[in-house]
Amino acid sequence: MENAQENIAGSSPESFEEKEPHEHAHHGGHHHVGLEETTGARLLVTLILNLIIPVAQVMGGIYAHSVALLSDATHNFSDFIAILIAYVAYLIGKRGPSVRYTFGYRRAEVMAAFINVIILVGASAFILYEAWERFNHPQPILGQWVIIMAGVGILGNGFSALLLYRGSKQSLNVRGAFLHMMGDLLTSVAVLVNGLILIFKPWYWLDPLLSVLIVAFILKNCWSILREATSILMNATPKGVDVKKIKSFLESIPGVLGVHYLHAWNVSASSIAFSCHVEVSDQPVSKTEPLADTIRKGLQERFGIDHPILQFETSQCGDGTMLCQISCGGQNSALSSGNSKST
């Protein structure tokens, strides 16, 4: 038989039931499952904290005439909205695949990341406006009250960041929320330092200056999240994945004559999919199952790929290049051979 298409499920339902649990155990394992179960609760607790903190800081900022404290409160309130969005995206992402959305709803977290960036940019613009006004019209600031309110922010944001730290390693959505919390923690520390200085020195210009530094930190984090979210939506090769190394690895496996048309992309921030054409000698489909299992395990263990899709064929299709020419607009050259089934 000349061509055979092989995916993560193998070639039969029985193969899927036996291999899938073993395969996913290499990628995250039971630790990842336990983390998923607590992510929602951690986001919910963080959400409640980030409603209480900005309310207290707004009251304190108005009373103390501190734009740094008000800007920190504005940032904290934008974080409340951001974490609310992150929580909703988490709930949506838990839904399984459907006929229309065959990969499920896991990229809802990417959309949430984009929305959070917009919110942060808007909050930054407001902070800059308030800082400019305070530069031009400085007002006396009650340093002791600023210290108290900054202390509230440090405790609340620090605890929130601790809650989200573990999940931030697995999810872009949670990572965005975690960066919000870290930004708030650092800005609360800056406001605390500002309050301490104001007790001894009437440097009222320091208050709006710290606000500008807060904005710089916020926008830096925005760029990082935006860049990663864009890469996922553009189906860019995931960070840390080298398709040339994958090709070399696959071609070193006994029984593989060649590999071409490689694709690697993120299904979500924590899941990597991969597809390629694998050239083998002429043989029945059933004979490719042991080889397919070896390839899947190798991709999982060496490159963290948890969703491999393999197409076996007995002769090179298209022009046999590493990257698919159909994706690059070379449909005629890729389709002219007509030798393999579509992936």
Final residue of a structural domain among 209, 233, 257: 233
Does some domain include residue 73?
Answer: yes
Final residue of a structural domain among 233, 267, 297: 233
57 and 129 fall within a common domain: yes
78 and 222 fall within a common domain: yes
Contact indicator for 127, 211 with CB cutoff of 8 Å: yes
pLDDT of residue 21: 38
Final residue of a structural domain among 233, 265, 288: 233
Give the residue among 238, 223, 271 at the shortest CA–CA distance from 124.
223
pLDDT of residue 20: 39
pLDDT of residue 63: 77
Does some domain include residue 5?
Answer: no
Phi and psi dihedrals of 203, rounded to 5? -90, 75
State both tokens at 158: 């620090």
How many angstroms separate the CA atoms of 173 and 113, rounded? Answer: 6
**Is a pLDDT exceeding 50 seen at residue 5?**
no
**pTM exceeds 0.85:** no
219 and 258 fall within a common domain: no
The domain in which residue 121 lies consists of 28-233
Higher pLDDT, 225 or 325: 225
pLDDT of residue 105: 83
How many angstroms separate the CA atoms of 59 and 191, rounded? Answer: 15
Does some domain include residue 22?
Answer: no
* Highest mean pLDDT (candidates 6-15, 93-102, 239-248, 307-316): 239-248
Domain count, the chain: 2
